[in-house]
C-alpha cells in the first residue's frame, strides 16, 4: 500500500481566509466615469501600468456583472439616485472606491447642484485623493481595498451592505408617501440627515 505524507496533501486554514483570498484577487470593476478622473483610469487600464496583474482587468459595464464600483469624477445631486440604483444592482459582496476629490467631497464644486461626497448616498470602502489622481494612486487605492478585503469577516460585509438596503426601503416608502420622484426623495433624505447632524442617508 502506498504511503501518503500528510505534509504534502493537507492544508489547514479558515473559510473566511480562503474566500477573501479569492475575492481580493478576482475583482470585477465597473467604472462610473463622469469627469477627468475617468481619463486617468483609462491610462491605468492600458498596457503601461498592466492592471491585470492584480486580477481586476475584467471590466464590466453592467452592474449585475461587477462587484467593484469605481466612481470617477463629479457626481451631481440628480445623479445620486442613479448611483444608488447601480450600487443596488451590483453582485454581492460589493465594494466602492471613490476616486478623486470631486467624488470624495465635492471638490471645488461647493454648489447646490453637486453632491458633497458620494458616501452620503452609498457606502465607500476606499478614498483615492487627487485632482485628478495619477494612475499609480488609483492602483494604490485598489491595493488598499485588497488589504481590507483580506481582513474583513463575511458577517461584517453582509451587515455593511444591509444598511444600504434599509435606506433603499426608506427611499421607496418616502416616494410612495409623498408621491415624489427618486431624485426628490434622495434630496429630502440628504437634507434631513444634514439637519440631524448626520452626513449619510444609509
Contacts of 92 by beta carbon, 8 Å cutoff, 6+ apart? 67, 158, 161
Give the chain's mean pLDDT.
Answer: 90
Model confidence at 2, in pLDDT bands (50, 70, 90)? low
**Residue whose cell numbers read 498592466:** 50
pLDDT tens per residue, range 69-100: 999 999 999 999 999 999 999 998 999 999 99
pLDDT at 6 > cutoff 70: no
pLDDT at 7 > cutoff 80: no
Q: Is the pTM of this model over 0.85?
A: yes
Which DSSP category does 197 fall into?
T
Calculate mean pLDDT across residues 159-169: 92
pLDDT at 95: 95
Three-state SS at 158: helix
pLDDT tens per residue, range 133-147: 999 999 999 999 999
Model confidence at 174, in pLDDT bands (50, 70, 90)? very high
Write the burial class of residue 6 (CB in 10 Å: 0-12 exposed, 13-18 middle, 19+ buried).
Answer: exposed
Q: What cell numbers appear for 59 in the block?
A: 471590466
In this structure, the chain runs to a length of 202
Calculate mean pLDDT across residues 186-200: 90
Contact at 8 Å (CB) between 131 and 146? no
pLDDT at 4 > cutoff 90: no
Number of H helices, E strands in the chain: 8, 4
Calculate mean pLDDT across residues 189-193: 91
pLDDT tens per residue, range 106-156: 998 999 899 999 999 999 999 999 999 999 999 999 999 999 999 988 888
pLDDT at 71: 97
CATH number listed for the domain at residues 20-153: 3.40.50.12280
When comparing pLDDT for 72 and 55, which is higher?
72
Domain definitions of the chain by residue range: 20-153
Q: What is the CA radius of gyration of the chain?
A: 19
pLDDT at 8: 66
Amino acid at each position: 500500500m502506498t504511503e501518503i505524507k500528510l505534509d504534502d496533501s493537507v492544508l489547514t486554514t479558515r473559510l473566511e481566509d480562503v474566500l477573501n483570498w479569492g475575492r481580493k484577487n478576482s475583482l470585477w470593476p465597473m467604472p462610473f466615469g463622469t469627469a477627468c478622473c475617468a481619463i486617468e483610469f483609462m491610462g491605468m487600464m492600458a498596457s503601461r501600468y498592466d492592471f491585470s496583474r492584480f486580477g481586476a482587468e475584467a471590466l464590466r459595464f453592467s452592474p449585475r456583472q461587477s462587484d467593484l464600483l469605481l466612481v470617477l469624477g463629479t457626481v451631481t445631486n440628480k445623479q445620486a439616485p442613479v448611483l444608488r440604483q447601480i450600487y443596488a444592482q451590483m453582485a454581492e459582496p460589493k465594494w466602492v472606491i471613490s476616486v478623486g476629490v470631486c467624488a470624495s467631497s465635492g471638490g471645488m464644486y461647493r454648489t447646490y447642484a453637486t453632491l458633497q461626497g458620494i458616501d452620503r448616498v452609498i457606502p465607500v470602502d476606499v478614498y483615492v485623493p487627487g485632482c485628478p489622481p495619477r494612475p499609480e494612486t488609483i492602483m494604490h487605492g485598489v491595493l488598499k481595498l485588497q488589504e481590507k478585503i483580506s481582513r474583513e469577516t463575511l458577517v461584517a460585509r453582509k451587515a455593511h451592505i444591509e444598511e444600504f438596503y434599509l435606506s433603499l426601503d426608506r427611499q421607496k416608502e418616502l416616494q410612495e408617501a409623498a408621491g415624489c420622484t427618486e431624485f426628490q426623495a434622495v434630496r429630502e433624505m440628504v437634507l434631513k440627515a444634514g439637519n440631524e447632524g448626520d452626513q449619510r442617508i444609509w
